[in-house]
Amino acid sequence: MLHFLSDLHLSPDAPGITRLFLDYLAGEARSAERIFILGDLFEAWPGDDALDDPEDDFARAVADRLRALADSGTGVAVQHGNRDFLLGDRFAERSGATLLPDPYVLSLPAWQFVLSHGDALCTDDADYQAFRAQVRAPAWRAAFLARPLAERQAAAAAMRLRSEASKREKTAQAMDLNAAATDDFLRRHGYATLIHGHTHRPAEHDHLVDGIHVERWVLADWREERGEYLAWDGHRFARHALLPVAAPRLPAGAR
């Protein structure tokens, strides 16, 4: 079984999501051969030295639980999202995860998939594409990572606020994948089944590209009260909800 998930946006400010994810890592993920986290595992990632922050063990705790899963025999693969695009080699080493390029073609004997966070295909959002090009440039990354951790944490928080504010001004169209860019992407990737996240609009789409039927599966974002992964059993997909464990109910009259 392969699992695909994305857009957890883990942060110390969302303890419910963290709980769901850690329970998943210790539970259902163990029965998967591999899990693929397709971006935005973290709400923000200021750099891999977040793992050394004496003030905050959140990053270490998550990396170590991923490592426990990897050590149990489940492969862990992670793609960058638009929030955690600075995840690097030290994170990969500590967590036991493999960092995948975006897009990544996953060829299985029975089927071909192409995995992506999805933000690169939101080409109607020119401001965002300019930002994306900037932060992915090696020179920008090197200069940013040379700044002190506290300064980068503040910059990441400011970026987040700006992105939330600009999201409110943008049309629904600009926040979704561009149809022509998506068709072209599917064509260039041999009409493989596309799995992506980013838009927070879980759905199954059917594309007809050059007369060929192509599937596109959009992963769900995680909420405090609900997580989700998409499972591939070698033949078909199924979505699995992850819900908080209910507090034990007291028998009537026992209070």
Of the ranges 35-43, 92-100, 121-129, 152-160, which one interacts with Mn ion (CB under 5 A)? 35-43
Let me know how many helices (H) and strands (E) the chain has, helices first: 7, 11
> What string marks each residue from 72 to 111 as x (binds Mn ion by CB under 5 A) or -?
---------xx-----------------------------
Rounded to 5 degrees, φ, ψ at 20 are: -60, -40
46 contacts Mn ion (rule: CB under 5 A) = no
Q: Is the dihedral of CA 76, 153, 174, 242 positive or negative?
A: positive
d(CA 56, CA 93): 19
Residue type, 108: L
Q: Cβ(232)–Cβ(2) under 8 Å?
A: yes
Closest residue by beta carbon to Mn ion: 198
To the nearest 10°, the Cα dihedral for 195, 85, 221, 159? -140
SS3 179: helix
- Residue 198 in contact with Mn ion, rule: CB under 5 A: yes
In the bound complex, what is the minimum distance in angstroms from residue 5's beta carbon to Mn ion?
13
Which residues in the 110-149 window bind Mn ion by CB under 5 A?
none
Judged by CB under 5 A, the stretch of 22-30, 39-47, 56-64, 86-94 that binds Mn ion is 39-47
Rounded to 5 degrees, what are φ and ψ at 48? -70, -15
User: Which residues have C-beta within 8 Å of that of residue 233, sequence separation ≥ 6?
Assistant: 1
Does residue 152 touch Mn ion according to CB under 5 A? no
Least distance between Mn ion and beta carbon 7 (Å): 6
Tell which one of 40, 43, 221, 228 touches Mn ion (CB under 5 A).
40
With respect to Mn ion, which residue has the nearer C-beta, 96 or 102? 102
Q: Per the structure block, which two tokens stand in for 156?
A: 């990441």
- Total of chain residues touching Mn ion, rule CB under 5 A: 4
Query: Is the Cβ of residue 82 or residue 116 nearer to Mn ion in the bound state?
Result: 82
CB of 119 to Mn ion, least distance (A): 6
Structure tokens belonging to residue 111: 């089927």
Q: How far is the CB of 164 from Mn ion (least distance, A)?
A: 12
CA dist 204 → 87, 131, 180 (Å) = 29, 28, 18
Instruction: Compute the least distance from the CB of residue 251 to Mn ion, in Å.
Output: 45
Segment near Mn ion (CB under 5 A); pick from 32-40, 59-67, 228-236, 242-250: 32-40
Contacts with Mn ion by CB under 5 A lie at: 40, 81-82, 198
